[in-house]
């Protein structure tokens, strides 16, 4: 079994769940979040808006995850997680980013999902250095796969060729055959 790396638009994937790199409001934004909301349609925003607020404007703290349906997406579910904003690497960013991957996998398992696809959480607007983020994505997903049965298919989605290569290198460095 391997962690898959795939290059392209995550909104086109017919998997049990795609992960959204959201913000704490869960009310949409740019990047992959905007693409997911556009492709899913307005019902996705309505379900997000109906999720309970932990405090005004915050539905999901950084490092946590919330599930919704996928609506017009080919994916059945969207798992919305909030990556850390990169500051200097000393504000718990690595642990928070690791939580995004691990808690998404835990929720997918709890929901009985067999396939999940992740974008490069925090690597766009939130400014996380790609190599460091790829190492965390590879570590968390490989560790999960080595100790759990489901979700059986775990896909790291690279939006461009450079990210694709960095993901492959990160997985190889952790012992996954190329
Ligand atoms: N499919 C796959 N990957 C994509 C797609 C796509 N359609 N579009 C972008 N990416 P970002 P963040 C890649 O900025 O850094 C939003 O406004 C992109 O190239 O989407 O976690 C939210 O509301 C990059 O590698 O997410 C938050 O406010 C990766 O997805 C904030 O941005 C993540 O980039 C979250 O910032």
Q: Residue of the nearest CA to atom 34 in ligand 1?
A: 124
Nearest in space to 68 (alpha carbons), one of 52, 47, 49: 47
Average pLDDT over residues 17-34: 98
Can you give the length of the chain in residues?
178
Work out which ligand 1 atom sits closest to the CA atom of 128. 15
Q: Is 126 in the pocket of ligand 1 (CB under 6 A)?
A: yes
Report d(CA 108, CA 112) in Å as an integer. 6
Residue 105: left (phi > 0), alpha (psi -120 to 50), or beta?
alpha
CA–centroid distance, residue 22 to ligand 1 (Å): 8
Model confidence band, residue 158 (pLDDT cutoffs 50, 70, 90): very high
Model confidence band, residue 54 (pLDDT cutoffs 50, 70, 90): very high
- For position 14, what pLDDT does the model report? 98
Residue 103: CB atoms within 10 A of its CB come to 16
Tell me: pLDDT of 88 over 80: yes
Q: Is 9 in the pocket of ligand 1 (CB under 6 A)?
A: yes
Model confidence band, residue 178 (pLDDT cutoffs 50, 70, 90): confident
Report d(CA 113, CA 108) in Å as an integer. 5
* 89 SS3 class: coil
Give me the sign of the Cα torsion angle 94, 96, 99, 101. negative
Beta-bridge partners for 21? 81
The two tokens of residue 119 are: 């974008």
Catalytic residue among 9, 16, 33, 88: 33
- For position 177, what pLDDT does the model report? 87
Percentage of residues of the chain with pLDDT beyond 70:
100
Average per-residue pLDDT for the chain: 98
Q: Please give the model's pTM, rounded to 2 decimal places.
A: 0.99
Is position 16 annotated as part of the catalytic site?
no
């Amino acid at each position: 079994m391997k962690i898959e790396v795939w290059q392209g638009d995550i909104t086109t994937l017919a998997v049990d769940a795609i992960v959204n790199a959201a913000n704490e409001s869960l009310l949409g934004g740019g990047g992959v979040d905007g693409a997911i909301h556009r492709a899913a349609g307005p019902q996705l925003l309505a379900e997000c808006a109906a999720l309970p607020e932990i405090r005004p404007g915050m539905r999901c703290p950084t490092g946590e995850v919330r599930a919704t349906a996928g609506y017009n997406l080919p994916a059945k579910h969207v798992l919305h997680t909030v990556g850390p904003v990169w500051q200097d690497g000393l504000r718990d960013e690595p642990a928070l980013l690791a939580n995004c991957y691990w808690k998404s996998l835990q929720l997918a398992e709890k929901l009985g999902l067999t396939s999940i696809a992740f974008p490069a959480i925090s690597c766009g607007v939130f400014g996380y250095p790609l190599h460091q983020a790829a190492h965390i994505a590879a570590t968390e997903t490989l560790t999960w796969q080595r100790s759990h049965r489901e979700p059986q298919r775990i896909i790291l989605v690279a939006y461009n060729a450079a990210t694709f290569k960095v993901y492959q290198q990160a997985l190889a460095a952790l012992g996954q055959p190329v």
